[in-house]
Amino acid sequence: MLDYDLIIIGGGPAGLAAAVSAKEQGIDSILILERDNQLGGILNQCIHNGFGLHTFKEELTGPEYSQRFIDKVNDLGIEYKLDTMVLDVNDNKQVTAVNSADGILELKAKAIILAMGCRERPRGALNIPGSRCAGIYTAGTAQKYVNVEGLMPGKEVVILGSGDIGLIMARRMTLEGANVKACVELMPHSSGLKRNIVQCLDDFDIPLKLSTTIINIHGHARLEGVTIAKVDNNRKPINGTEEYIACDTLLLSVGLLPENELSRKANVNLSKVTGGPLVDERMQTSIPGIFTCGNVLHVHDLVDNVTTESYTAGKNAADSIKGIFHSGKTVEVFATDGVRYTVPTTINPENIGNGIDVRFRVGEVHKAAYISVYFDDTREMHIKKKILTPGEMESIKLTKAIFDKYSECTKITIKVEKE
């Protein structure tokens, strides 16, 4: 069995940033395990720009952003194995992996960082009636075909769901000569960033049909069209609102799921809301010494936020290896009244330095509302927001001074209030 100080599962933007952070904290024995044939993760197929504005203060494409961290990993001499599938992780921090060069690998670590990313929700999770004809893809699969393989999935396109990947692929398919007829969204609001709605749909006159879904898929060998319909407040199709759209391609952008099979094997406690691990202020899971970051923890809107979070996980994993941590009273963080979840869910004030960023998402659109933060029953923060949307992650900073002010606090509650 090979011993390492730190094993990082996943060589995407989260795993790379965490590795660099831990190395900069003085941890030398680090191993990154990546199942793909190259580092960089999903960013390798995201050839559009818009990455890095916060981290590097310039606009980069996805491959350019990931290459910055790949170069750092190489410069720092951090070991990594490609084409390596992790089969098992247990709560004793033992890892079993396999690749063609080494065969079965039995590894042991002082700390582990889970950075496996997320996957797309497939058609099978949607229960749309119709045949299993060709021409139906997840938006991410279509993105890989177009941007990496140089293949066009089709020419007459409908997109179901308005997640960021779907919005970006509406623009990408249009630029490659396809006719994107509509983006159909079940909810009364988009689940993507406002800037992507403007730049990818509005700028190309692609209609966004809200409170609408697909009720039938037509075609046998190849997709021939879809029937869409408006839905009521219970998300049930409304009779008489059906509309047929002829198309040869349907792209699904209906949500992302954190890739947490390995987390379950390690007996990590998972959130019922996000599907990702429950973590404390150090990005540590319920298993001491196992940390997590990136989209396997909760789905992010900006890769810059992934990097910030991953640097925190890497630093704290390094501290754990060195035996640097403070035990003591923890404060629980609750999401309620419009707030779906928070990261983290517990905070030990002794471990936050000058402060901590708490990230969260709301469940629906709120206009002219407030984000309120209660320490026990006392409202300490009341932040006015012009608009809150599920597609954009929110963040508040809780300073050490606030925790000193409420030194006897046992719970923090974050909620949406109208006044």
The pLDDT of residue 3 is above 90:
yes
Q: Which of 250, 227, 163, 229 is nearest to 200 (CA)?
A: 163
pLDDT at 322: 95
Q: What mean pLDDT, rounded, does the chain reach?
A: 95
Q: Which of 240, 331, 277, 238 is nearest to 115 (CA)?
A: 277
The confidence band for 206, taking pLDDT boundaries of 50, 70 and 90, is very high
Strands 378-388 and 103-114 come out as unpaired
pLDDT at 95: 98
How do residues 263-273 score in pLDDT, each as one tens digit?
999 999 999 99
Mean pLDDT of 266-295: 97
Residue type, 122: P
Percentage, residues of the chain above pLDDT 70: 100
Cβ neighbors of 103 (< 8 A, separation 6 or more) are none
The pLDDT of residue 149 is above 90:
yes
SS3 17: helix
Q: What is the pTM of this model?
A: 0.94
Range name among 22-31, 173-182, 191-200 with the lowest pLDDT average: 191-200
Strands 290-292 and 208-209 come out as unpaired
Residue 390 preceded by cis peptide, ω within 30:
no
Ranges of beta strands (E only) in 10-90 are 30-33, 79-81, 85-89
Alpha helix locations (H) across 157-201? 164-175, 194-196
SS3 344: coil
Mean pLDDT of 358-379: 96
Q: How is residue 245 written in tokens?
A: 């759209």
C-alpha span between 73 and 241 (Å, rounded): 54
Mean pLDDT of 365-372: 96
Range name among 61-75, 114-128, 279-293, 383-397 with the lowest pLDDT average: 114-128
Q: Is 220 exposed, middle or buried (0-12, 13-18, 19+ CB in 10 A)?
A: exposed
How do residues 22-51 score in pLDDT, each as one tens digit?
999 999 999 999 999 999 999 999 999 989
Would you tell me the crossing angle of helices 13-24 and 62-75 to the nearest 10 degrees? 30
Q: How is residue 384 written in tokens?
A: 């006015």
Angle in degrees, CA 373, 376, 382, rounded to 5: 20
